[in-house]
Structure 1
Amino acid sequence: MSTDLLSEVVTSSEQVAARPIAASRRRRRRFSWWHVVLIPIALLFLLPFVQMLLASLSPAKELVTFPPPFVPSHLTLDGYSKLFTQTDVLLWLGNTVIVSATAIVSNIVLCSLAGYGFARLKFAGRSFGFFMILATIMIPTQLLMIPTYILFSKLGLLDGLGAAIVPWLATAFGIFLMRQFFLSLPAELEEAGQIDGCNRWQVFFRIVLPLARPAIATLAIFTLLGSWNDLVWPLIAINNDQAFTLQLGIANFQSTRRTQWDLLMAGNVIATLPLILFFLVAQRQFIATMTFSGLKG
């Protein structure tokens, strides 16, 4: 099979993958009675975010009254001013970006390779190995914290960004997600590439991986949500102020006797906004993955 024909096959497969997205767009333009039910539910989920935003713009005195007013008497940026001038929020934000970016890149690379291996390669113990990886999902995280802490202590990874990065280098869910998506792709595409002279690595990087963009976007979303919002493990493993993540720094605004509500609400807005923007950018690929992988209902 010629290279031009192989390119046409890959392009046609991408067009087929895009059809459900275009069809969903047309369905969204039509009115459905489900909208009458879903719109109030969406507003109900949106309400806490609106309250958080209004609280971050409220005077500090109004936040300690009971019950606190939903709509402040006047809007102020004092909470944000104190957050950026009296705390190291920019350092925390930078540390969190480093942790999340490293986690996303490593998960895309490692989970894609592992998922493709379990989906396409035949080797002894493949089913048992995949089952053992999935079994780790059923182990509560709390049971692993003490042995993980001891291991990291012996490796010298505590009190640094390495303590927050290493646990997110690869995840069992990421391997499962990528394997399910690779199983949904036609094997004929890879066979065509091999007939055209491509080896296994070329087939993976030139044919399979470009078609896996929806799954990669979904994996990036889940990895970002997990690594960005991770609090319990950094709270245990990091005591160095210079290595605080954003969630760990925000947690310091709460203490046994006092909570700085203005800083807490402003910090939560700063922590939530990047996640919302990232999901809005990648939601189309996320929907496509739910359509073509084994995760759809």
Structure 2
Amino acid sequence: MNARGARIVVNGLLIAAAVFVLFPLLWMLSVSFMQPGEASAFPPPLLPAHATLANYRELFVRAGMGRYLFNSLLIATAITLLSLAFNLSAGYAFAKLHFAGRERLFQILLGALVVPAQVAMIPLFLLMKWLGLVNSYGGVIVPALASVFGIYLVRQYARSIPDELLEAARLDGAGEWTIFLRIVLPLLKPIVVTLAIFTFLASWNDFMWPLIVLSDQAWQTAPVALAGLSREHVQDNELMMAGSVVTILPVLVLFLILQRHYIQGLLLGSVKG
């Protein structure tokens, strides 16, 4: 097979894989515009016979999805911004600052990666209860303020920053915070974007912890509210698909906007340190 034939085969396989991956999402979008009960026909239609926005009106006017989306947006944004501050500071400290027990402490943190998150949920819930943060935004935000994975990612990337650059800044009289804010942070931009996307997506899609710590319906996030809505409208596939669309759309748009920086950060992070 010549080079042109190989390219045709490869591109054909890639297109087929893309269609296979995108088809469920496109069908979900199509069903969200169908009349009630239309998607339950056999075989299920690919396109709505008479497109309608009734499912979205039902979702926002009667089911109150707008409130749940606001909760998700507020929590995910707060977690992203605060965790970036903690992870970037800690990752830089482990990479470039010298203090007693640095390597041993970092090894202990890495060991925590092998502990399943579910194991810590009961003691974490009891801690949030003791702090009075159960059934509040704080109960979801505080446990996510820092992550071992985020610290590790920043540390590995920050190790590539030349020590001579930092020493020169110190000789010029710059303090550690000035060095971190004006020199280190601009150099960490690719990994900052990558970590921000990781954190926002994880926070937005998190289901288990908000379900545990938020008992009041008014505080619930979109994934939890959508699961509750599915129990009330178990046969209403069109309404559920509309709920899935509005839950997925914000993170999908965010990823598409920042995908170039996200991929760049992953590729750079794979060869750093």
TM-score, normalization by structure 1: 0.84
Aligned to 1:289: 265
Q: Give 1:66 shift.
A: 4.4
Contact kept, 8 Å, 2:193 with 2:262, in 1: the verdict is yes
Map 1:118-133 onto structure 2 (within 5 A).
118-133=94-109
Q: Give 1:271 shift.
A: 1.1
Paired letter, 1:264: M
Name the SS for the 1:197 alignment partner: coil
Match for residue 83 of structure 1 among 59, 68, 71: 59
* CA distance in 2: counterparts of 1:128 and 1:263, whole angstroms: 52
* CA distance in 2: counterparts of 1:55 and 1:145, whole angstroms: 36
Is the alpha carbon distance of 1:188 and 1:288 closer, same or farther for their aligned partners in structure 2, counting shifts above 3 Å? farther
Name the SS for the 1:254 alignment partner: helix
Q: Would you say how many aligned residue pairs link Structure 1 and Structure 2? A: 266
Paired letter, 1:276: L
Q: Is the aligned partner of 1:142 residue 2:125?
A: no
Aligned to 2:37: 61
Cα deviations by residue, 1:131-150 (Å, 9 ceiling, x for unpaired): 22122221112211211122
Q: Give 1:248 shift.
A: 1.0
Cα deviations by residue, 1:20-64 (Å, 9 ceiling, x for unpaired): xxxxxxxxxxx7864333222222211121011111111111133
Q: Give 1:295 shift.
A: 6.4
**Any stretches of 5+ residues in structure 1 without a counterpart?**
1-30
Identity %: 38
TM-score, normalization by structure 2: 0.90
* CA distance in 2: counterparts of 1:35 and 1:116, whole angstroms: 42
Paired letter, 2:144: W
* CA distance in 2: counterparts of 1:76 and 1:51, whole angstroms: 15
Contact kept, 8 Å, 2:91 with 2:158, in 1: the verdict is yes
Aligned to 2:174: 198
Match for residue 170 of structure 1 among 131, 146, 161: 146
Paired letter, 1:199: G
Match for residue 183 of structure 1 among 159, 173, 176: 159
* CA distance in 2: counterparts of 1:179 and 1:33, whole angstroms: 41
Paired letter, 1:214: P
Name the SS for the 2:229 alignment partner: coil
Map 1:21-32 onto structure 2 (within 5 A).
none
Contact kept, 8 Å, 2:30 with 2:47, in 1: the verdict is yes
Is the alpha carbon distance of 1:106 and 1:76 closer, same or farther for their aligned partners in structure 2, counting shifts above 3 Å? same
Q: Give 1:258 shift.
A: 2.7
Contact kept, 8 Å, 1:184 with 1:292, in 2: the verdict is no
Q: Is the aligned partner of 1:47 residue 2:23?
A: yes
* CA distance in 2: counterparts of 1:260 and 1:186, whole angstroms: 58
Is the alpha carbon distance of 1:107 and 1:295 closer, same or farther for their aligned partners in structure 2, counting shifts above 3 Å? farther
Paired letter, 1:54: S
Aligned to 1:269: 245
Q: Give 1:182 shift.
A: 0.4
Match for residue 244 of structure 1 among 220, 243, 256: 220
Aligned to 2:211: 235
Cα deviations by residue, 1:112-162 (Å, 9 ceiling, x for unpaired): 000000001112211121122122221112211211122222222111222
Contact kept, 8 Å, 2:86 with 2:146, in 1: the verdict is yes
Aligned to 1:37: 13
* CA distance in 2: counterparts of 1:249 and 1:257, whole angstroms: 12
Match for residue 114 of structure 1 among 67, 90, 104: 90
Q: Is the aligned partner of 1:223 residue 2:202?
A: no
Q: Give 1:183 shift.
A: 1.1
* CA distance in 1: counterparts of 2:271 and 2:46, whole angstroms: 39
Name the SS for the 2:231 alignment partner: coil
